[in-house]
Chains A and B, each alone.
Chain A
Amino acid sequence: MKKKVLLALALITISAMMVLVASPSTEKRETTRLRFIDVSPSPTRQEYFTNTFEKFKQETGITVVYESVPWDDAANKLTVLGASNQLPDVMTTWAGWLGQFTEAGWVVPLADYIGNTKSEYASTVTELVWKAEQELYGNIYTIPDGMMVKGVFVRKDWAKEAGLNLDMKKGWTYSDYFDAVYKLTDPSKNRYGTSFRGSRGAFDPLFVYLTSLNGGSAYAQDGSTLLANQEAIDAYKRWMALYLDGCAPRDAINWGFVEMVDNFCGGLTGTLINDSEVAATCLANMEDHQWMVMPMPRSDKDGKIYNTVNAPYAYSISSTSKNKDAAWKLIEFLTRPDNNIEYCKLTGLIPIKTAVGNDPFYGPDGPYAAFVQQLNDPDMVVPVAFGPFNFTDMHQGMMHEEMQKYLLGRQTAETSLLNVVRELERRMKRYLAENPGSSVEQPKGLL
């Protein structure tokens, strides 16, 4: 009898749980509802967006639902959403995904929406980001949320000890940079010169270095690679020597972003090449006298600074959205100068509209000085991207795997480099053949 009672109780509990489970925690249906997904959520961002969406609702009456997915799984989630035609109306996207998204037809061209307001945007946006998108994909697909530029973070205190004279305004060349890395390496003090990245993304800074020897280009007009000559191989070896000569810990062969930044802030490495976003981490974890930012090194060949400029979480509209016009309104609202500068200050980015004016936060004495300086430098050139085709599988695989094989001594430098650039060349040529009328992307300057 007791057991039957227990069984009945169990069934009741189950039903109760099911009811609890089935109860949603959301929302009533309203006329226009937009879904917005944030691919790099944090309490700060969530608070900012929810507040901004409230303001938006008061102004336009459109409700926006804030969805988010942890950064690590963001690419995968967007893939699943895209494959099942469930993409949110407005997405924050990383530039590296655009090749896939445009190929799969998941994002909407925005040139018509932008129309005449193009002049409101800073030249970094129009001349660099949008020009690149038009060359690569034939149209503009994203509105940047803020501009992000790379710089070299350096341990100011170590540099002083090593007698290095680093002047942010003057800048430096790649030879200076390599020199500094070797000088900052001091095994006796457990110090390494550089946060060498060996895992995913390792090829990115190396690619920039290689293109700096070719004026920022990687392909000739017919698609054949410019990075397969002896000069490139020598440069490849010089870059990898940083690891092989012990300027980075042995572990670095498998380092990702997290390890790089952690080790710089934690006092193990002396330099770190990374985006301006990292400045916020440094501000939070290090003292002012410990770090500084140098602009990216100038090419030894033509003295120009080769640097990538992009928006980390640019806004785009999904092609399956049923409220494209409302979605555009939201993007417009988010990129309004007052909202944009508030957002950029929170996230460590550089504003995208010219109306921003001269905010001292971005002035020559602020933490972002080196980045702003580069953006205003007439000698800054943005090298080409890997290509308009889908290269994500290479980025997740062979690009860094080939480097690792060389570092482990299993392959020659020549083989490692050629494997990658030849594959890029193959894909570029196929893209040109399949898309008549398209041409190879050119490096871009601001002026």
Chain B
Amino acid sequence: MKNHTIQRYLGNFARGLILLFFLLVVLVPIYWMVITSFKTNAEIINTQEITYFPRTVTTDNYVQLFRLYDYRSMLANSLIVSVSTGLCVTFLSILGGYGLARYSFRGKDTMLLFFLVTQMIPGILVIIPLYVIFAKLGLINTRLSLFIFYVIANLPFCAITMRSFFERIPYTLEEAAYVDGCSKLKSLITIVLPVMFPGIVAVFVFAFIGAWNELIAGTIFINTSDLWTVPVGLKSLIGKYDVRWGVLMAGGVCALLPTAIMFAFMQKFVVEGLTSGAVKE
């Protein structure tokens, strides 16, 4: 009995150390970003002395970010596009993942390979032909073009991932439902999806972030600055000779908030949605 307790304490201690380590690794650069966003430009580029806390705390960068650079519209654009992408991709990859996982059919392996191959195509070779197509359809400089591109870009990965999540659910669960008289669709929705919930949430988050962070398509498909997403807008702070470091860091920090909130809630949904799965110790 004592052995077990010591083991448990050691385990918790090790766990605590690991958690602390990762927290530091993540927080230190973010801390640096945050304090930089509160420094004056002169202090930032002062090469003779690096300050670990702003000598003069200034909110100038944030003010400029919102007033001068219209960050609000960038955030709005990014949010609209990313949430739409996340929802659409999740929905389609549930369908696709289920099909890939539960069925054995001709062409399945080719399809899988095709999914993977789409991930291997270098971006620039796709963007130019796509630009021509979008231009013909009059989609250039619309959020729709970004939405379409992000959905298609993130779909293969999310479908494959969803498939692997489905595969882990033993078929016996559904079988039991059929015996009880459920239709295929009903069993999918009422039995399988709740168990899959952590996976579904994960996939949504990935699709969202895939769209949130994307830069190249945002630059190419959008012409006017009122439709810029956050990454493109922040990139415009890099001029030919100088970088507006303070404002850039402020923008980066602000861009973190939606995703941070999502990550926090992700855990909540995951825990609540589970019917079986959490390890009890």
Contact = CB atoms under 8 A, between A and B. Distances in A.
B5 interface: no
Interface in B65-93: 68-69, 80-81, 83-84, 87-88, 91
Nearest to B136: A84
A35 B224 CA distance: 10
A41 B91 contact: no
B239 A42 contact: yes
A281 B81 CA distance: 36
B225 A21 contact: no
Interface residues of B, number: 47
B226 A70 contact: no
Contacts of A80: 127-128, 131, 220
A65 B243 CA distance: 26
- The interface residues of chain B, by DSSP majority, are classed as helix
Contact of B189 (A3, A72, A265): A3
A13 interface: yes
Interface stretch (A22-30, A137-145, A154-162, A210-218): A22-30
Nearest to A18: B84
Contacts of B243: 258, 262
B242 A21 contact: no
Given A262-B242, A266-B48, A268-B48, A10 B235 contact: no
A102 interface: no
Interface in B125-148: 127-128, 131-132, 135, 140-144, 147
A68 B220 contact: no
A4 interface: yes
B239 A40 contact: yes
Contact of A266 (B47, B80, B127, B131): B47
Given A10-B87, A10-B91, A285-B42, A3 B223 contact: no
B135 A84 contact: yes
Q: How big is chain A's contact interface, by range? A: 35 or more
B260 to A, nearest CB: 22
A274 interface: yes
Interface string A67-86: 11111110011001001101
A153 to B, nearest CB: 11
Contacts of B87: 10, 13-14, 17
Interface in A5-58: 7, 10-11, 13-14, 17-18, 20-26, 35, 37, 40-43, 46
Given A68-B236, A262-B243, A73 B46 contact: no
A3 B182 CA distance: 14
B80 A281 contact: no
A20 B80 contact: yes
B240 interface: yes
B141 A43 contact: no
B48 A261 contact: no
Contacts of B46: 266-267
B242 A281 contact: yes
Contacts of B239: 40, 42, 71
- The interface residues of chain A, by DSSP majority, are classed as helix
B88 A277 contact: no
Contacts of B193: 3
Contact of B236 (A35, A37, A41, A274): A41
A7 B193 CA distance: 11
A314 to B, nearest CB: 14
B238 interface: yes
B235 A73 contact: yes
Contacts of B91: 10-11, 14
A445 B62 CA distance: 48
B12 interface: no
Contacts of B68: 43
A46 B239 CA distance: 14
Contacts of B20: none
B190 interface: yes
A165 interface: no
B81 to A, nearest CB: 6
The 8 A-B pairs of least Cβ separation, nearest first, read: A17-B84, A266-B47, A268-B47, A266-B45, A67-B223, A70-B236, A70-B235, A43-B68
Given A22-B143, A72-B238, A77-B219, 10 more contacts: A25-B227, A40-B240, A68-B236, A70-B238, A257-B241, A258-B243, A266-B48, A275-B241, A277-B240, A278-B241
